[in-house]
Structure 1
Amino acid sequence: MKLYVIVPLCALFTLTQQAPSPRDKCACELINSEKAFPHDKLGSVETNALKCNSNITPQKTLELESLLLGLERRLPQLQDDVSMLEREDDGDLYAVVSLQVIENELREIKLFMDRLNSTTLGHQHLTDDTSKQLEELKAEMQELETYDTMQVVKTQQANNQLKKELDQCSKGLHATDQPTQPPQGNCPHGEFLNITGPRVYTAGEYPGSYTYGAWGQDPKPEAGKESWYWLVMLTSSNKYSNYVRLYSSLSSLIVGVSAPGNVQISPSNPTTNTIQGPNVVLYGGELYYNCYNLDSVCRFNLTSQTVTTLQLPKGTRFNSKGNFCRLDECYPFTDLDLATDESGVWVIYTTTQDFGNLVLSKVEEGESLRLGRTWHTSVYKQGVTNTFMACGVLYATRYLNKDLEEIFYSFDTTTGEQRFNIGIFIKKMSPNIYALNYSPVDQMLHAYCDSYMVSYKVLFNRNGYADNVFH
């Protein structure tokens, strides 16, 4: 009896362990009715779009504008020189000197025309190529849109547009107060309102050669040198220089024709009395700068070619110990910043006893240099990228990104009032501004940016309206 029970159980166990037959398998076939998305084509479109962005830049437009500005200023000068020549005509012989002046003028105008023709032709080719590329990109994007069968992209675009309109409506209903403006103080131009530009953008005589430097005009020029410009490039290790280069006009600087050329401070570089750091100004025919390896201001007279020094207070940080900085780097040897405004020359620095905060002192002119009144601020120097003076007010900037710098701080030497909410933005043509010089002659702000020279117009509110006339 037991034997009959065990045998069927064993047989059942054996059957359950057998592999299923092919007829017992289940397979599903998935058929996609949509076309395969062309990822390679999308990548190609993105690459071509990036190339377009890199080819079309504000710098290219400003290069043309700067050349036109230089030509605009050069032609009236030529007309004046020709008129002078006609007045000197004695019936037989023109003045040789005047003829040489006109010859130089014509040579510089020819340089302008050559560069303008070259630049215009390059822009024309760039425009033609870009137009063709844009048409191709448009066709490719329209083709790619056909793959958006569920209208996801169009729905997102519609939602973004609706959100933008709602934001504009909300801003209209809840208008905010205008940001606080810098103090007017005793400025003859009125209240400092804004910065516009860039007005000039040029690589000058040595394109891309010298990253650090400074340039500008002399606010108190000698007679006959009112239109001159000066340039200091740090030619040794981006830290030192031993000469200042002069240009007879803005147009000469733009096309890179230096006259009278270099005025040398010393024959070697670096050594005693040579320039250390990019923060340099020219005032009254004298160059003010950080003396080499000293916590002192040097003043170099371009006529007598003599140097006078001014010792700064004990504890002044120098030799790259108290630089201007941004978040991820500092600008070497920017311990001392020299500045000019309507009242003369200033020096901005920091000391150990001020715990790294900005200190501002007036430099008093005379045969021997001396410090005038000094002000102590509450802004940390290494949180600042640059400073400049305008109408007795100190302004400080900070780095926002590669395209924008912000004037965020002001200190009024008349009232002692300091503000941290200025909110005026400088549109940059290259990531770093290594020197800022304000010119009280024409209210221009001259910036030296990664070997490029850029200028901006400072707008003041004169008699209740913005003084935005370009000189």
Structure 2
Amino acid sequence: MIITLYFFALMSSTMAWGRVGLWSEGRVRNETGGGSKDRCACDAFLPSSTFPIGDLVVVEQAAGEISHKLELEMGKLEDYESKLTAYAEKIIKLTVEIERMEKNPDDYNDADMDEVKVEIKQVEALIKELQLSMRGSSTVFESLHVQITAMVETLNRLEKTYDKNVVLVTRREYIKVQLQLEECERRHQELFNPNIGSCAHTGIIKVSKPIVSQLNAHLNSGYKFGGWGKDSKPVPDRESMYWYSGYTSGSIVDIRFYTNYKNLILRNHFQHHNLHSSWIGRGNNFILRDNTLYYQINSPFGLAKLNFTTMKYESRVIPKASTKFSYTNSPNQNFDFAADETGLWVTYATDETSGRMVIGKINEPSFGIEEEWQTSVYKPGVSNAFMVCGVLYAVRIVDIETEEIFYKYDTKTKEESYIRVPFERFQEKYSNLDYNPTDQKLYMYNDGYYVNYHLWFNHTTKDTVEPPFLLT
């Protein structure tokens, strides 16, 4: 059987499109001399004879491979969950048995003790096996992110150069795969990090590789300033909501809301608020908490909040705060809002502290500063900062690809220390970095791209019941 591909130029944008890469097939009878012969005809409609169909085919093949890998990983996660339940039951039984032995040692002989020791070693071996398997899954996720990032870059390039209708179908396939990966990672994260909301840890010990969602909702790499993420204290029925606000300069003039991650990726917002001309802000370290935008204003220089439930606007001036000190690569970020498990914060620098950062705890109902802490870290030497469980973490540039969490200040103990927790950037510069306590992730707006990171903490047994082992 002879296979022939017929390529037709797309003369009108109104012509119907089939899915690129999955050719429509039909049997065509050969009427020219030499007798009749069946052949298979596959038609692909292209905008021009030079359209790089090979690139789309590669993207679609990659999407299929990734989807298959994700199905395998989801199967593994179900297996992990059942094993974790079984292991936990074994550990509980062993714990009860050991407590009995401690209370009534005369009722047990050496053989009983040896039997318990063997069971403990068996459980330890099973746990080690499970840890290795889950680490293997993490490696798979990192590999998939690299593939997906390459896919979206190809689609963005084609969309800018050729008819967007051609690329749209393949982009939808990419979005499906991206959502599959997000769901798979979410379940994986729940196994790795079952203590969301708990502060029973001694701090951050690891940051994941950058998880890149896509370019901003404007699909424009020139929108380098802005932010994105989730509400750190969501109102009822908006727990899955995402927000985005991006610009070509450091102004804050509007914000878009999306019901969930899928609609964020599809750029399908359900609300778009334009700020009143007298409410426009500056800088990029704004956050959303309790359906309220907290941000910096320059006239007068101070703090501002806009509640989107009541549309009530408020502002506050901090007399000592200075306009002279901002982050390394981000002008006009004099105030940096942050939210964590303990509430709402803002950091800034003053002339009195010679540019060293001050941490302020915000009383949310009154919108006033209820307590302050002075640190020794110089703000212009910091690329960004965020709060976790009442602890300030400051970040600095290591090289063109790497950031490092290098400093922490605990507001509970008033102790500060220098640490080294490196992590990668997706692009060279970023304008917004914030922690969200609802999922214990870092959200970064990185040269126009939505990027986020998983965090690992050094968990303790204080004030909480921990799982029988820690997966790292």
TM-score (norm 2): 0.57
Which residue pairs with 1:209 in the alignment?
Answer: 222
Report the alpha carbon displacement of residue 210 of structure 1 after superposing the two structures with TM. Answer: 0.8
Instruction: Work out which of the residue numbers 177, 194, 217 in structure 1 matches 2:206.
Output: 194
Which residue pairs with 1:263 in the alignment?
Answer: 273
Asked if the contact 2:401/2:427 (under 8 Å) is kept, the reply is: yes
How far, CA to CA, are the matches of 1:427 and 1:468 in structure 2?
Answer: 28
Which letter maps to 2:330? Y
Which letter maps to 1:449? N
Q: Which runs of 5+ in 2 are unaligned?
A: 1-140, 152-165, 176-197
1:282 and 2:288 are equivalent in the alignment: yes
1:386 and 2:384 are equivalent in the alignment: yes
Which letter maps to 1:439? N
Question: For structure 1, which segment, 460-469 or 287-296, has the greater mean C-alpha deviation from structure 2 after superposition?
Answer: 460-469
1:430 and 2:427 are equivalent in the alignment: yes
Which letter maps to 1:265? L
How far, CA to CA, are the matches of 1:233 and 1:467 in structure 2?
Answer: 43
Change (3 A) 1:190 1:275: same
How far, CA to CA, are the matches of 1:217 and 1:458 in structure 2?
Answer: 16
Change (3 A) 1:466 1:214: farther
How far, CA to CA, are the matches of 1:402 and 1:61 in structure 2?
Answer: 23
Which residue pairs with 1:357 in the alignment?
Answer: 356
How far, CA to CA, are the matches of 1:395 and 1:435 in structure 2?
Answer: 14
1:440 and 2:446 are equivalent in the alignment: no
1:454 and 2:454 are equivalent in the alignment: no
Secondary structure at the residue paired with 2:169?
helix
Report the alpha carbon displacement of residue 275 of structure 1 after superposing the two structures with TM. Answer: 1.9
1:19-418 to 2 correspondences below 5 Å? 62=145, 65=148, 114-116=169-171, 187-188=199-200, 191-207=203-219, 208-235=221-248, 238-258=249-269, 260-266=270-276, 271-312=277-318, 314-318=319-323, 321-325=324-328, 330-366=329-365, 368-418=366-416
Aligned residues: 291
Higher strand share: 2
How far, CA to CA, are the matches of 1:257 and 1:468 in structure 2?
Answer: 41
How far, CA to CA, are the matches of 2:305 and 2:200 in structure 1?
Answer: 28
Asked if the contact 1:192/1:459 (under 8 Å) is kept, the reply is: yes
How far, CA to CA, are the matches of 1:468 and 1:364 in structure 2?
Answer: 37
How far, CA to CA, are the matches of 2:468 and 2:287 in structure 1?
Answer: 25
Asked if the contact 2:216/2:246 (under 8 Å) is kept, the reply is: no
1:44-76 Cα offsets, whole Å, 9 max, x none, are xxxxxxxxxxxxxx99953754899xxxxxxxx
Which residue pairs with 2:135 in the alignment?
Answer: none
Change (3 A) 1:197 1:435: same
Change (3 A) 1:112 1:402: same
How far, CA to CA, are the matches of 1:466 and 1:295 in structure 2?
Answer: 47
1:222-263 Cα offsets, whole Å, 9 max, x none, are 11100001112135xx121221111111122123222x1312
Asked if the contact 2:212/2:449 (under 8 Å) is kept, the reply is: no
Which letter maps to 1:323? S
Report the alpha carbon displacement of residue 322 of structure 1 after superposing the two structures with TM. Answer: 1.1
Which residue pairs with 1:128 in the alignment?
Answer: none
Asked if the contact 1:210/1:234 (under 8 Å) is kept, the reply is: yes
Change (3 A) 1:374 1:112: farther
How far, CA to CA, are the matches of 2:376 and 2:146 in structure 1?
Answer: 39
Asked if the contact 2:211/2:451 (under 8 Å) is kept, the reply is: yes
Secondary structure at the residue paired with 2:385?
strand
How far, CA to CA, are the matches of 2:268 and 2:350 in structure 1?
Answer: 41
How far, CA to CA, are the matches of 1:378 and 1:467 in structure 2?
Answer: 38
Asked if the contact 1:64/1:116 (under 8 Å) is kept, the reply is: no
Secondary structure at the residue paired with 1:227?
coil
How far, CA to CA, are the matches of 1:467 and 1:201 in structure 2?
Answer: 33
1:348-392 Cα offsets, whole Å, 9 max, x none, are 1001111100011011011x3111110000011100010000010
Change (3 A) 1:324 1:302: same
How far, CA to CA, are the matches of 2:241 and 2:415 in structure 1?
Answer: 35
Asked if the contact 2:200/2:460 (under 8 Å) is kept, the reply is: no
How far, CA to CA, are the matches of 1:467 and 1:244 in structure 2?
Answer: 43
Change (3 A) 1:116 1:399: same
How far, CA to CA, are the matches of 2:468 and 2:299 in structure 1?
Answer: 42
How far, CA to CA, are the matches of 2:417 and 2:145 in structure 1?
Answer: 33
Report the alpha carbon displacement of residue 294 of structure 1 after superposing the two structures with TM. Answer: 3.0
How far, CA to CA, are the matches of 1:231 and 1:468 in structure 2?
Answer: 37
How far, CA to CA, are the matches of 1:294 and 1:323 in structure 2?
Answer: 17
Question: For structure 1, which segment, 289-298 or 424-433, has the greater mean C-alpha deviation from structure 2 after superposition?
Answer: 289-298
How far, CA to CA, are the matches of 2:167 and 2:308 in structure 1?
Answer: 29
Question: For structure 1, which segment, 193-202 or 447-456, has the greater mean C-alpha deviation from structure 2 after superposition?
Answer: 193-202
How far, CA to CA, are the matches of 2:400 and 2:467 in structure 1?
Answer: 28
How far, CA to CA, are the matches of 2:225 and 2:215 in structure 1?
Answer: 13
TM-score (norm 1): 0.57
Larger Rg: 1
Asked if the contact 1:316/1:351 (under 8 Å) is kept, the reply is: yes
Secondary structure at the residue paired with 1:272?
helix
How far, CA to CA, are the matches of 2:251 and 2:435 in structure 1?
Answer: 22
Which letter maps to 1:384? V
1:314-334 Cα offsets, whole Å, 9 max, x none, are 23112xx21101xxxx42111
How far, CA to CA, are the matches of 2:468 and 2:294 in structure 1?
Answer: 30
Report the alpha carbon displacement of residue 216 of structure 1 after superposing the two structures with TM. Answer: 1.1
Q: Which runs of 5+ in 1 are unaligned?
A: 1-57, 69-110, 121-185
Change (3 A) 1:216 1:370: same
Change (3 A) 1:383 1:468: farther
Secondary structure at the residue paired with 1:253?
helix
Asked if the contact 2:252/2:282 (under 8 Å) is kept, the reply is: yes
Which letter maps to 1:335? N
Which residue pairs with 1:154 in the alignment?
Answer: none
